[in-house]
């Protein structure tokens, strides 16, 4: 069939040539898409995903609805319907058949929202076609906070911990799917949705925190070998006094045993502090959530408190490790004088 249908150009309007040159006919690309859809019964699909962090409110959903209505007013819409499905963190769900019902009831649930799915079905008759074409628009928006905290609860009893910030790139926060017949219409609708999404309140993580978080796995290595290096340095300095020919055998033996013990303890202490810093940095993730009711606010506040606690613990541990290293060096230096 590709031999019989070829592309052409007629000014600003793309055209298609059907058949051989001697008997072929020229039609618009719009008619060619409709022709393909009628023959095969298949529709094309646009699909876009995002992992960005945002705060979604009821007014944002209402604004999206109005924007979609305005952007499709130029078309001859034969039939349209929409559904708004909400899933909550307790496993319950609700479904509304209009934006009015959604606004009336969605904000009064005593449970935080896990995700929301907006579905629009349109039957559109384009200017150069006689039959209505179906366009299915599906917008899925997910609360990262709900997903991550759900996994945190599952992993709390496990003998290992999971770095939560890695889920920023694993868990998608939004997906747009459009099933269409005419690509021009689908791209116009997709552009409207993406413009709306760019106007949502966005949450960002400071660059310094991102840097330390990405290097969290190096803290145990740096601290355990750093503390060990400090102890080894001062052990060598003290060895000039305790391992001389004038020192007794007992004093020499005590110095060697204490040096080994202090080296081991410093190594373990550095590893403990480093792992503590790593674990707390790994629990800091970028918030992205749906805010429809006070229940959502309370849920996010609890999650934010956990994140802030991890941030404080990791920061204090880094400062404490630095102070400990400086203090030990100063005390050891005093004894050497």
Q: Evaluate whether residue 241 is within a structural domain.
A: yes
Give the count of beta carbons closer than 10 Å to the beta carbon of residue 320: 13
Q: Is the dihedral of CA 185, 190, 195, 200 positive or negative?
A: positive
Give the count of beta carbons closer than 10 Å to the beta carbon of residue 138: 17
Q: What pLDDT is attached to residue 236?
A: 79
Do 118 and 132 fall into the same domain?
yes
Do 267 and 197 fall into the same domain?
no
Q: What pLDDT is attached to residue 29?
A: 47
SS3 content of the chain, % helix, strand, coil (to 5): 55, 25, 20
Helix axes 249-282, 219-242, angle to 10 degrees: 170
Q: What pLDDT is attached to residue 171?
A: 85
Q: What pLDDT is attached to residue 329?
A: 77
Domain coverage including residue 277 = 208-285+293-336
Q: What pLDDT is attached to residue 183?
A: 84
Do 310 and 226 fall into the same domain?
yes
CB 291 within 8 A of CB 241: no
* pLDDT, block means (10 residues), the chain with 337 residues: 40 45 47 49 79 93 93 87 93 91 84 94 81 89 92 72 80 91 88 93 89 91 91 79 67 78 89 94 92 93 93 93 84 60
The pLDDT tens digits of the residues spanning 146-184 come to: 999 988 877 766 666 778 888 888 888 999 999 987 888
Provide the number of structural domains found in the chain: 3
Do 29 and 66 fall into the same domain?
no
Q: Evaluate whether residue 151 is within a structural domain.
A: no
Q: What pLDDT is attached to residue 242?
A: 65
Q: Evaluate whether residue 150 is within a structural domain.
A: no
- Separation of alpha carbons 70 and 34, rounded Å: 24
Q: What pLDDT is attached to residue 42?
A: 58
Do 221 and 236 fall into the same domain?
yes
């Amino acid at each position: 069939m590709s031999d019989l249908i070829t592309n052409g150009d007629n000014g600003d309007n793309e055209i298609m040539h059907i058949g051989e040159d001697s008997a072929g006919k020229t039609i618009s690309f719009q008619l060619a898409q409709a022709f393909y859809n009628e023959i095969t019964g298949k529709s094309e699909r646009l699909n876009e995903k995002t992992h960005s962090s945002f705060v979604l409110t009821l007014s944002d959903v209402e604004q999206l609805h109005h924007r979609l209505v305005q952007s499709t007013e130029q078309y001859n819409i034969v039939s349209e319907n929409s559904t708004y499905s909400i899933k909550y963190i307790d496993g319950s769900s609700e479904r509304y058949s209009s934006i009015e019902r959604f606004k009336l009831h969605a904000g009064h649930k005593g449970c935080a929202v896990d995700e929301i799915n907006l579905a629009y079905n349109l039957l559109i008759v384009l200017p150069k076609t006689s039959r209505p074409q179906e366009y299915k628009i599906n917008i899925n928006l997910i609360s990262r906070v709900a997903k991550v905290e759900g996994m945190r609860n599952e992993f709390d009893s496990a003998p290992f911990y999971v770095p939560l910030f890695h889920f920023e790139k694993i868990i998608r926060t939004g997906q747009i799917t459009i099933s269409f017949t005419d690509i021009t219409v689908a791209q116009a609708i997709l552009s409207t949705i993406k413009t709306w999404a760019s106007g949502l309140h966005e949450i960002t993580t400071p660059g310094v925190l991102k840097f330390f978080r990405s290097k969290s796995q190096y803290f145990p290595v740096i601290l355990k070998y750093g503390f060990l290096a400090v102890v080894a340095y001062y052990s060598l300095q003290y060895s000039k006094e305790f391992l001389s020919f004038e020192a007794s055998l007992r004093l020499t033996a005590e110095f060697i045993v204490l040096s080994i013990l202090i080296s081991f303890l410093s190594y373990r202490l550095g590893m403990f502090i480093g792992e503590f810093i790593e674990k707390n940095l790994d629990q800091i993730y970028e918030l992205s959530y749906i805010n429809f009711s006070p229940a959502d606010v309370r849920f996010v506040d609890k999650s934010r408190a956990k994140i802030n606690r991890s941030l404080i613990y990791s920061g204090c541990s880094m400062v404490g490790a630095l102070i400990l290293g400086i203090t030990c060096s100063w005390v050891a230096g005093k004894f050497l004088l």
